[in-house]
């Protein structure tokens, strides 16, 4: 009994230590800083470009089988936030996405990756356009314990989020803001 308790404690300690090394970075967005025109929505009174930022991640758990990316606004006045982008089934050997990988036609996605439906009603990255005040935008990379999440282009952010939480072995996040 004592050996299994020690093994469990060691495993938990290693997983916590490794979680600290999982990092998300970008040349286009910064934690706590205003989003640029590229990541602002084109529509709904905003005149941005709807271009997803370049993203790069390091230090994922060794048992990672695939990755996912989500962009979520928890401050949207909907009662349930707002999904700006969901992308799953990124192969485990990929650790970066180029600028505009989230375009609606999916032409810049890694092979096998799938974009779910955003709260704008279609797959692909949708930029920020808060109705009022300052909103946070959680850009999160998820390390997953499975190679594939069973979603398609019509899968809602809530469904994708539930499946990601069920299979997450680590996350890394950047949270820029947008004010209007």
Strand order in the sheet with 96-97: 23-25, 55-58, 96-97
pLDDT tops 60 at residue 111: yes
**What is the architecture, at CATH level 2, of domain 22-179?**
Alpha-Beta Complex (3.90)
pLDDT class for 3, splitting at 50, 70, 90? low
Instruction: Say what the pTM is.
Output: 0.88
The predicted-structure confidence for 25-68, as pLDDT tens digits, reads as follows 999 999 999 999 999 999 888 999 999 999 999 999 999 999 99
Domain ranges of the chain: 22-179
Cβ atoms of 91 and 111 within 8 Å: the answer is yes
C-alpha 156, offset from chain centre: 14
Round to whole Å and give the CA distance between 13 and 15: 5
- Confidence at 1, pLDDT banded by 50, 70, 90: very low
| Residue (of 141, 137, 114, 127) closest to 55 by Cα position | 141
Closest among 21, 69, 50 to 128, alpha carbons compared:
50
- Calculate ∠ Cα 91-164-178, nearest 5°: 95
């Amino acid at each position: 009994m004592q050996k299994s308790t020690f093994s469990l404690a060691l495993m938990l300690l290693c997983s916590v230590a490794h979680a600290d090394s999982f990092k998300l970075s970008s040349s286009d967005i910064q934690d706590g800083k205003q989003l640029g025109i590229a990541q602002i929505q084109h529509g709904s009174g905003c005149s941005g470009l709807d271009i997803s930022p370049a993203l790069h991640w390091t230090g994922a758990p060794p048992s990672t089988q695939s990755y996912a990316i989500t962009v979520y606004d928890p401050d949207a006045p909907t009662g349930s936030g707002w999904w700006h982008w969901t992308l799953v089934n990124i192969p485990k050997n990929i650790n970066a996405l180029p600028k505009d990988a989230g375009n609606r036609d999916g032409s810049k996605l890694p092979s096998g990756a799938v974009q779910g439906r955003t709260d704008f009603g279609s797959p692909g990255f949708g930029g920020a356009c808060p109705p009022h005040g300052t909103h946070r935008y959680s850009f999160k990379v998820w390390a997953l314990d499975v190679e594939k999440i069973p979603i398609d282009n019509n899968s809602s952010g809530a469904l994708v989020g539930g499946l990601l939480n069920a299979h997450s072995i680590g996350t890394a996040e950047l949270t820029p803001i947008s004010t209007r």
